[in-house]
Chain A
Amino acid sequence: MFESLSAFGYQLGHLASLYHFSILIAAVMMGIAFGALPGLTATLGVALLTTVTFTLNLSVETSMIALMGVYVGAIYGGCHPAVLLNIPGTAAGAATALEGYPLCQQGRGGEAIATATVMSFAGTVFGVLAMLLMVPMLAKLAVLFQSAEYFLLAMFGVLICGSLTAPDTPIKGWMAGLIGLLLATIGMDPTHGYQRFTFGNSELVSGIKPIPVILGAFAVPQIMRAMMRPTNGAGHNAPEITRLAPQWSVLKRNIGNAIRSGILGVGVGSIPGVGEDIAAWLSYDTAKKASKTPEDFGKGSMEGLIAAETANNACIGGALVPLLTLGVPGSPPAMMLLGALMLNNVIPGPRLATEHPEFIPQMAAILLWASLVMLILGFLLSRVSVKILRIPTAFLMPTVALFSVIGAYAFDNSLWDVGFMLGFGIVAFLMDEQGYPVAPLVIGLILGPMAEENFRRALIDSGGSLMPFLTRPICLVFLALTIGALALQWHRRQRA
């Protein structure tokens, strides 16, 4: 623990340079703009910037500064349109809108945004602390993992993500995850070199690339949904912000609420593939149940706003814990971070701490600096965000499409990837319309190779026996967690 703290301290000093800060400031600004603009998401922001960092051939350190800056900025930025327009910029800001907009109508919009800014900062710092505490413990546990454990971990991630993100029945989330796992089998088999499901197409031999899939899954449906709404294509006229400052007495009263929300945010973040939106809703719901004045919720309760904003930003640190220790991303933007790390030949997992000992404290330090920059820019840019919201959607959405197309193309200079991105985007839109969530599909695609490789290796080691999956202690824990969580989820849905 002491070692990791001292490494963290060293990294904080190492990153405090003009070069790093200029990149961080630009990235956080871009993130806030992405979060503030309805229809653009944190995942899309991280995906598009990954293209730029990869094309510019930036170092891992610089790439991570840029990507983490966008991630933190975008998760926070969603609170601006949520408070000012009752339109959450991101899914994570939806719970904020419930309380933020009534506060804005009461003339307390500036106070709501300032409170959300401070609590987003507090939530991110909470996430950093949790990360520093949890990563060494989980890294020690991860060393005990063998093939059977990795296979069950990947399946646990896909199934739980499917279960928690499905808007209809959990089975649809699992099916989305299965599509991802199926897509991961396309191309050259890693063990035998046998070509599977390529249909003679040379573009498919190297497999499905995650970047066009992520861009397609998160950009095309967003663009379509934004334009399908009855609108004249103009921007939104947000009210001007007055008195941009939190009430310290309110913050002081909510310390317990903030700590509980931080814990919930980190906890949800560490569940594979489950993102900031679920953290915010869970925390909001818990705060309502624990509140002495639950009747105020929905009418402009600072308690609800604080719970949602603390949790969605604390979730970032939580999402990095399984990513760095097990190679399993904790949220959709973290999936993109995993892709970016792999592009830079950094493979997250149990060996990361030994192969790149500086990397984990560096990520924690980047997250802390990003949260500080977010806090400052959050206050400085609040009035500017009102103007950003005025950009007409009829101009904004085609520009996003333009960047998505060039982003998908730039990875391999291939128009095939662009076609795949568009085709997959249409499939993602249709799936979404029918209640099949897209996040489990992406996590299935990313975890597919890990699941398959370890499934086969475990069976080879046991001579074809399934017993290791059912007898090894960690496997039993995963099985119990998976079955318990799925049964609970199923029971709740059936009752609802």
Chain B
Amino acid sequence: MLKGKSLRRADIVSGVVFVLLGIAVLIGASRMPIGGTYGGVDNPWYASPAAFPFLIGGLFVLCGLSVATNGIRKVGIAGLLGACKRAAQRSVREPTNRRGLSVLGLLCGYYILLRARWLGEPALSYTVSSSLFLVCFALLFFRPQNRFPKLWQSGAIVLGALAIAALVAHIFSERLGVPLP
């Protein structure tokens, strides 16, 4: 979790996002059927599908305003944009965030591999996609004695990944009857 002033600056952004989300919910709710009849049934405001979204949207706006104003009170609006820009530049350079982004990239890549189609058929089988994901993940993060893994270790990672992926595929498709993606 962010700390101190960084958290309060982030509060301004998240507060505004929630206010906007609340307004969007209120607009969406106002387009739902309210009053008169719907499907031949009386539809007063309190029975309409919009009643609950109105309540939530209103609460979103109130809470979002509270979080944003708390942030503004603590750090002020001035310098927020500059601070955001600096934070964005710094955050990509920080090793911790780079590692986080790598994990995100790997997860998204895995999903894309599973979804990829070639002539209406899966481009890669589940086992191959999963093995690739496991191998890339392990090779990217496994640093024994803070060095790249040796050739035999890399070989073991590839074999291990293939074995795990094949085992999961076997359990889910053969034993549990799940048609794999």
Residues of A within 8 A of B (CB): 52, 55-56, 167-169, 171-172, 174-175, 178, 181-182, 185, 189, 191-194, 196-197, 220, 223-224, 227-234, 392-395, 397-399, 401-403, 405-406, 409-410, 413, 415, 418-419, 422, 425-426, 432-436, 451-452, 455-456, 459-460, 464
* Interchain residue pairs with CB less than 8 A apart (17): A168-B1, A175-B18, A192-B38, A194-B49, A223-B107, A229-B96, A232-B145, A398-B137, A403-B168, A415-B114, A419-B111, A422-B108, A455-B52, A456-B47, A459-B46, A459-B47, A464-B44
A178 and B45 within 8 A (CB): no
Closest to A401 in B: B107
B142 adjacent to A234 (CB under 8 Å): yes
In the assembled complex, B162 has its CB within 8 A of some CB on chain A: no
> In chain B, residues 126-181, which have Cβ atoms closer than 8 Å to a Cβ of chain A?
130, 133-134, 137-138, 140-146, 157, 160, 164-165, 168, 172, 176-179, 181
Shortest distance from the beta carbon of A449 to any chain B beta carbon, whole Å: 10
Interface string of B35-62 (1 = CB under 8 A from A): 0001101011111110111011001100
- Are A402 and B134 neighbours in the complex by a CB distance under 8 Å? yes
Minimum distance in angstroms from A184 CB to a CB of chain B: 9
A106 to B99, CA, bound (A): 36
| Nearest CB in chain A: distance from B154 CB, A | 12
**Within 8 Å CB of B28, what residues of A?**
196-197
Chain B contact residues (Cβ within 8 angstroms of A): what range? Answer: 35 or more
Query: Roughly how many angstroms separate A149 CA and B141 CA in the complex, as a whole number?
Result: 51
B125 is an interface residue with CB less than 8 A from chain A: no
Return chain A residues, CB-CB under 8 Å to B177.
55
Q: How many A-B residue pairs have CB under 8 A?
A: 179
In the complex, the 9 A-B pairs of residues with the closest C-beta atoms, listed nearest first: A459-B46, A398-B137, A394-B142, A189-B49, A394-B141, A232-B143, A233-B141, A233-B142, A55-B176
How near does chain B come to A249, taking the closest CB pair, in angstroms? Answer: 42
CB neighbors of A among B1-53 (8 A) = 1-2, 7, 10-11, 14, 18, 25, 28, 32-33, 38-39, 41, 43-49, 51-53
Q: How far is the CA of A243 from the CA of B180 in the complex (A)?
A: 48
| Residues in B neighbouring A455, C-beta threshold 8 A | 51-52, 55
Q: Are A402 and B108 in contact (CB under 8 A)?
A: no
Give min CB distance, B27 to chain A, whole Å. Answer: 11
Q: Which of A167, A191, A402, A405 contacts B49 (CB 8 A)?
A: A191
Q: How far is the CB of B75 from chain A (nearest CB, A)?
A: 14
Q: In the complex, A167→B2 CA distance in Å?
A: 11
Minimal Cβ-Cβ distance residue in B for A174: B63
Instruction: Name B67's closest neighbour in chain A (CB-CB).
Output: A171
Give A425 to B100 CA distance when docked, in angstroms.
13
For B108, give the chain A residue with the smallest CB separation.
A422
> For the complex, would chain B's binding face be called helix, strand, loop or mixed by DSSP majority?
helix
| Closest beta carbon of chain B to A215's beta carbon, Å | 12
> Cβ of B100 and Cβ of A418 under 8 Å apart?
no
Taking the closest CB of chain B, its distance from the CB of A207, in whole angstroms, is 13
Q: Which residues of A contact B138 (CB under 8 A)?
A: 233, 394-395, 398
Which residues of A are found within 8 Å of B108, using beta-carbon distances?
A: 422
Q: Does B82 interact with chain A (Cβ within 8 Å)? A: no
User: Which residues from B are CB-within-8-Å of A432?
Assistant: 1
Contacts of A419 in B (CB 8 A): 111, 115
Q: Is the CB of A402 within 8 A of B168?
A: yes
Residue from B55, B96, B134 in contact with A230 in the complex, judged by beta carbons closer than 8 Å: B96
CA distance A228 to B94 in the complex (A): 11
User: Known: A193-B39, A459-B46. Contact between A433 and B179, CB under 8 A?
Assistant: no
- Asked if residues A191 and B1 are in contact (CB atoms below 8 Å), the reply is no
> Once the chains bind, are B67 and A52 in contact (CB under 8 Å)?
no
Cα separation A167 to B41 with both chains bound (whole Å): 46
User: Which A residue's beta carbon lies closest to that of B102?
Assistant: A227
Q: Chain B residues near A392: list those with CB within 8 A.
A: 142
Contact of B178 among A194, A232, A413 (CB under 8 A): A413
Please measure, in the bound complex, the distance between the C-alpha atom of A169 and the C-alpha atom of B11, giving whole angstroms.
11
Q: How far is the CB of B21 from chain A (nearest CB, A)?
A: 8
Given contacts A397-B137, A419-B115, 6 further A-B contacts (CB under 8 A): A192-B48, A220-B107, A228-B103, A395-B134, A405-B111, A464-B46
Which listed residue, B104, B141, B176, touches A56 by the CB 8 Å rule?
B176
Give chain A residues whose Cβ lies under 8 Å from the Cβ of B18.
175
Residues of A within 8 A of B63 (CB): 171, 174-175, 178
Cα distance, A397 to B104, chains bound together (Å): 13
Closest chain A CB from B46 CB (angstroms): 4
Q: Which residues of A contact B178 (CB under 8 A)?
A: 55, 406, 409-410, 413
Is B142 a contact of A232 with CB atoms below 8 Å? yes
Smallest CB separation, B80 vs chain A (Å): 15
Q: What separation, in Å, do the CA atoms of A316 and B86 have in the docked complex?
A: 46
| B103 & A223 in contact (Cβ 8 Å cutoff) | yes
Nearest residue (CB) in A for B97 is: A228
Q: Which residue of B lies closest to A444 (CB)?
A: B56
B132 to chain A minimum Cβ distance, whole angstroms, is 11
A415 CA / B95 CA spacing, docked (Å): 32
- For the complex, what is the distance from the CA of A191 to the CA of B102, rounded to whole Å? 45
A435 closest partner in B (C-beta): B1
A55-B177, A232-B142, A415-B115 known; A185 vs B56 contact (CB < 8 Å): yes
Distance (whole angstroms) from the CB of A403 to the closest CB of chain B: 7
| Docked CA distance A193–B111 (Å) | 33
B7: which A residues are within 8 A, CB to CB? 168, 434-435
Contacting pair A426 B104 (CB below 8 A):
yes
**Pair A175/B67 contact, Cβ less than 8 Å:** yes
Could you tell me the distance between the alpha carbons of A280 and B159 in the complex, rounded to whole angstroms? Answer: 42
B78-109: contact bitstring with A at CB < 8 Å (1 yes, 0 no)?
A: 00000000000000000111011011101110
